[in-house]
Chain A
């Protein structure tokens, strides 16, 4: 079952991730700081250029910053413009079926047309 309680498997996953992330971090620090000649003398020659040790974090942070602006822009672009019928109705409301009216029962839930809603709100009943 899906419960958020702490389980032994989750503790093991957590500890493995913790060790893995420490290992990755130490490896990254060694790659970034240890001079190339020392690494070559150990026999480790096939490593990416050290340029990437600075470039990748910068790329990541700029991507996060642009992501905020991009998400904002995508939201604004997905908003229906004022002259589209999406502000009034949609496919589900067009194809809904009228249930029969039963006496003394609560009417079934359905989408009411905007003309009717306007009349109810704005025209005072006499």
Chain B
């Protein structure tokens, strides 16, 4: 088990943790930076100052209490639905690939793709919001066409690691996926 530091596409520090459970099972987890106190206090002060400005103009004290409410509810919604703490990839050769996202509030959302559907795990580059980024994605097999790709599942969407981290994850995944060809599958 080892952990290494990398940078995300926007420059934030992220950490990649690799664990080898067995010869054909690996877990790769990318940890995103935690919610910064300075950005939280900046947003809270901005909202509260704006609400105080409105209160001075309108003389209605409901503005202040609703601003406090909005800040609290907004923070809870952000931590539960938006802020991702860790994204992990569990590759089990001959079984499948499991993708887990853990949110800052503790919620975990998991997706499992069985190995028969996985065509390959590749690093693709695409245009995203006026930038060209590298991202890792799982190519799903098209059941009718052995050469075709039916669906693309992008991974590590919120941590967006840079190419050096992606190459490490790619090499680890390919070592396990190569075993599919050498070991004959019984269907």
Contacts and interface: CB of A to CB of B under 8 A. Distances in A.
A89 to B, nearest CB: 7
Contact of B152 (A76, A83, A119): A83
A45 interface: no
A118 B123 CA distance: 7
A38 interface: no
A122 B167 CA distance: 6
B124 interface: yes
Interface residues of B, number: 25
Contacts of B149: 85, 88-89
Contacts, number: 52
B128 A94 contact: no
B52 interface: no
A117 B56 CA distance: 63
Contacts of B157: 82
Contacts of A88: 124, 139, 149, 152
B108 interface: no
Contact of A85 (B147, B152, B167, B174): B152
B126 A123 contact: no
Interface of A: 76, 79-80, 82-85, 87-89, 94, 113-115, 118-119, 121-123
Interface of B: 119-120, 122-124, 126-129, 135, 137, 139, 147-154, 157, 167, 170-171, 174
22 contacts: A79-B127, A79-B128, A80-B126, A82-B126, A82-B128, A82-B154, A82-B157, A83-B152, A84-B152, A87-B124, A88-B124, A88-B139, A88-B152, A94-B148, A113-B147, A114-B120, A114-B122, A114-B139, A118-B123, A121-B123, A122-B123, A122-B171
